Amino acid sequence: MPVARDHMSRDLLTVSPSDSLSEVAQRMVERDVGAVLVIDGSSLSGILTERDVLRAVAAGIEETTVVSDWMTRDPETMGPDDTTQHAAVLMIHGGFRHLPLMEGSDVVGMLSIRDLMRVVLDNAAPRGV
């Protein structure tokens, strides 16, 4: 069974809870990422996803809106040596698409539903090509 470490993203975008939500959304677009890790001091305090930003926009964000107003606090995590199957079960049952990977108190990567699809479709070609 494949392990998360072999498929995780390592080049992570991290932000502070006090960062401006609109500036972080712009950084997400520039980096083409669907989620950012929210680090408070040296600890993971949350995750901010595209869905969170969309909810904020729908509610009407203001200039003073910060990441902590809309982030998901204390997100589900798992270890990088756990299986991709375990990650898929957590994501499906939890209703989320991004999973931070932790070694002790350190974030070492993130696994997305797209990463898991690559594992499943590793040797597949589009439209039978």
* pLDDT per position as a tens digit, 70-85: 999 999 999 999 999 9
The reported pLDDT for the residue numbered 69 is 97
Q: Three-class SS string for 52-90?
A: HHHHHHHHCCCCCCEHHHCCEECCCCECCCCEHHHHHHH
Q: What does pLDDT average to in each consecutive run of 10 residues of the chain (129 residues)?
A: 93 97 97 96 96 96 95 96 96 96 96 91 65
Q: Does a structural domain hold residue 127?
A: no
Q: Does a structural domain hold residue 83?
A: yes
Q: Does a structural domain hold residue 27?
A: yes
Residue-number span of the structural domain to which 17 is assigned: 4-122
Q: Does a structural domain hold residue 104?
A: yes
Q: State how many domains the chain has.
A: 1
> CATH no. for residue 102?
3.10.580.10
Element (H, E) at 64: none
Q: Does a structural domain hold residue 49?
A: yes
pTM score of the predicted model: 0.89
Q: Does a structural domain hold residue 29?
A: yes
